[in-house]
Chain A
Amino acid sequence: MGLFRYTIFRLLQAIPVLIGISIITFALANLAPGDPVRLMLQGQEVDEELIRTIEARYGLDQPVHVRYWNYMTGLVQGDLGYSIHRRRPVADLMLERAGPTLLLVLSAYVFALATAIPLGVLAAKRRNKPADHVSRIVALVGVSTPSFWIGIMLIIVFAVQLGVLPSAGLVYPWQPPEAAGHSGYIEHWIESIRHLILPMIALGTLQMATLMRVERTQMIESLQQEYVTLARAYGVPERTILRKHAFRSAQLPIITIVGLNLSTALGGAVLIETVFAINGMGRLFIEAIQQLDYQLVMGITMVLGAIFVIGVVITDISYAYIDPRVTYGDRE
């Protein structure tokens, strides 16, 4: 089975998982207290007739299984539902907010990988020496400190005290510079980076800490393999052993962690967007919950669930691509 067929196969396997997610979110949304119609009317005195008309209009008068069926038929056609509260399609609402969240999560991963891999390799190389102890403390602090607190501290130090970086919002590099009031692209991009630094660090620290520890463990294990001893016995310089011989096989678990931690990163983005006043999907999600906007909550949950499942599939595929021992489901 080739890589392409393997990809299709894994994507098909993801379908039952997605159906499961939809059932759970739908059930939770229906079990939650509060009546969306009354909420929409915001306490206005209306007669029962009007309420029933509204319910009929949005299909709320039908039994649960019919409503679920209607929801699912819409979903497979790409219709994520209609926000009664905001009177707009859920998909439109999410598309508007997806950019900042993706930008934030991706940059947090870039930050985490760019710092964790060199630090992890260094810690493995200097095992039980000062550099290793420092990295261990950094990792411990990074894992145990809540990201929103890191965010707040970063704002206090770098935005309030030192005043070197902005504390709120993002500048979107994909927008024309004029929209953000900048005169040229250079200034525009510099501004987007400056706005991104603090939230990126706040969100990326947890990932960095986890990845660094995994990288260290894997490198230590890899450095003890017989093929590393063999490379040494054939005169391969230690530098090359670290960069090549021990390095490559040590990266496989990193890919897994990156894929699986996507859910943590997306969850963290909800908090970080709130702290840094970023208009992303996370904030939209919080607003939707506060407004009991069930359609929106369900839509976002479905999409985040799908992103997570696809992340896992991509992890598997890249694993198969990097590790020659992984066969695509059959033996040769």
Chain B
Amino acid sequence: MSSDPLLRVENLKTQFFTETGTVRAVDGISFEVYEGEIVGLVGESGAGKSVASMSLLRLVESPGEIVGGTIEYKGTTIFDLEEGPDGDLRKHPDMLSEAAMRERIRGREIAVIFQDPMESLNPVFTVGGQLREFIELNRDLSSSTAKAEAIRMLREVGIPDPEQRYEEYPHQFSGGMRQRVLIAMALACEPNLIIADEPTTALDVTVEGQILDLVDDLQERYDTSFIWVTHDMGVVAEICDRVNVMYLGEIVEQAPVDELFYETNHPYTKALLNSMPRPDRTVEELTPIEGVMPEAINPPSGCRFHPRCPDAREVCTRVHPEAREVDRADGHPHRAACVKHDVFDVGYDESVPLEDGADAKPSGGETEAERGSAAGGGHASTDGGESR
């Protein structure tokens, strides 16, 4: 894929200035989204996935703030800083104003689907009214055309009796139906990119399957790009083209989806994959990731994953690796932020392995393994991996 990316994010940093200190929620992530792609953003709770996706729309709320990096969308600058004459960082003159963001980007070019379909719809307005309003606003349609379009989209996402459901209120819809409404909302505005922030997390597995099939289907027809934020490797395997694995505000591995699953290059990704049941592998027992993800307010020195990493060596406590290209597949780079790869050349092979904790295996037992294989194609969650 040689064409320019639809969205280019470079070294994006978003921080929260709290009373207890600065939380580096997103700490220098870079990735691209090309046209027609579904790009995954994967990680445990607190890895900074949602903050990253809100940053793309410049909708981070106080005390949070984007403090650095570049976000470019189709050649327009959503966010950029430059160094002023006095050495201070200031907004780049090409950066879109707040009004331009609202009028040209939000909804019109980049739409979102939120995690919780129960909270995302306004309880005091009809579903159709909310849909119609956003369509009117982002496609400059008249009220009646927008209504027809809203009903058409409701039918498109598989809501029966759309004319009648149009007049109903959110509380009259089930969770899955509401998520369909939100998908209809996103698609109806005809954006080029949809950010889906854990859209299936609040749904049960059968409904999740239906929604994923629906998105797959619609994505092909509308050729919309997606950023799919999730903590679920199963979902990633099902729909993503390329994946970014996030850990503590950083992208630790970036690869096309098959590469990520079969040529895993970062110990964290490996650990994530080992902690979930896979239909393509039979294992005696699942291996949870040891420990808890530390707080982004005070990240560990060196590689942020080293306290939980089975491959950690002394050098990992000192050297903080950024993601580097370690391989290429399908014309896309396979990047990993782990010093054990030769491209880093910081003396990993000579370094002393760390003794503590990480290599101790838990005594999972028979039941654990049974549950794993029984779950079959089910999705493992990386949330709370330590408790499994």
Contacts and interface: CB of A to CB of B under 8 A. Distances in A.
Interface of A: 225-227, 229-237, 245, 248-249, 322-325, 332
A227 B59 contact: no
B31 interface: no
A229 B59 contact: yes
B124 A233 contact: no
Interface string B165-195: 0000101100000000000010001000000
B362 interface: no
Contacts of A332: 172
B102 A235 contact: yes
Q: Is chain A's interface secondary structure helix, strand, loop, or mixed overall?
A: helix
Contact of B119 (A225, A237, A324, A325): A225
B125 A248 contact: yes
A225 B138 CA distance: 22
B123 A234 contact: no
A249 B171 contact: no
Given A234-B137, A325-B169, A227 B121 contact: yes
The 7 A-B residue pairs with the shortest CB-CB distance, nearest first, are A234-B107, A235-B106, A226-B119, A235-B107, A324-B169, A227-B122, A233-B112
B124 A230 contact: no
Contact of B137 (A227, A230, A236, A249): A236
Nearest to B126: A324
B359 interface: no
Interface string B120-136: 11111100000001100
A232 B102 CA distance: 8
Given A324-B171, A325-B169, A234 B124 contact: no
B103 interface: yes
Contacts of A325: 123, 169, 171
Contacts of A322: 124
B59 A232 contact: yes
B122 A233 contact: no
A325 B126 CA distance: 11
A183 to B, nearest CB: 50
Contacts of A229: 59, 61, 114
A324 B124 contact: yes
B273 interface: no
B120 A235 contact: no
B59 A235 contact: no
A324 B123 contact: yes
A224 to B, nearest CB: 9
B111 interface: yes
Contacts of B59: 229, 232-233
A68 B105 CA distance: 73
Given A227-B123, A233-B111, 11 more contacts: A227-B120, A227-B122, A230-B120, A231-B122, A233-B57, A234-B112, A234-B134, A235-B103, A235-B107, A235-B138, A248-B125
Q: Quick one: which of B105, B124, B185, B189 has the most chain A CB within 10 A?
A: B124
A234 B111 contact: yes
B116 interface: yes
A243 to B, nearest CB: 13
B49 interface: no
B108 interface: yes
Nearest to B115: A226
Contacts of A233: 57, 59, 106-107, 111-112
Interface in B309-355: none
Contacts of B123: 227, 249, 323-325
A225 B123 CA distance: 11
Contacts of A249: 122-124
28 contacts: A225-B119, A225-B122, A226-B116, A227-B121, A229-B61, A230-B112, A230-B114, A230-B120, A230-B121, A231-B122, A233-B57, A233-B111, A234-B106, A234-B137, A234-B138, A235-B103, A235-B137, A236-B102, A236-B134, A236-B137, A237-B102, A245-B122, A248-B122, A249-B123, A323-B124, A324-B124, A325-B123, A325-B169
Interface string B58-102: 010100000000000000000000000000000000000000001
A226 B120 contact: yes
A325 B173 CA distance: 12
A323 B116 CA distance: 21
A322 to B, nearest CB: 7
Contacts of A236: 102, 133-134, 137
Interface in B185-217: 185, 189
A91 to B, nearest CB: 42
B108 A227 contact: no
A236 B138 CA distance: 9
Contact of A227 (B61, B119, B189): B119
A232 B189 CA distance: 14
A236 to B, nearest CB: 7
Contacts of B106: 232-235
A245 B130 CA distance: 10
A236 B105 CA distance: 11
Nearest to A233: B112
Contacts of B120: 226-227, 230
Contacts of A237: 102
Contacts of B112: 230, 233-234
Q: Quick one: which of A248, A322, A332 has the most chain B CB within 10 A?
A: A248
A245 to B, nearest CB: 6
A29 B3 CA distance: 90
A250 to B, nearest CB: 10
Contacts of A232: 59, 106
A232 B59 CA distance: 8
Nearest to A229: B59
Nearest to A238: B102
A233 B60 CA distance: 11
Q: Quick one: which of A226, A249, A325 has the most chain B CB within 10 A?
A: A226
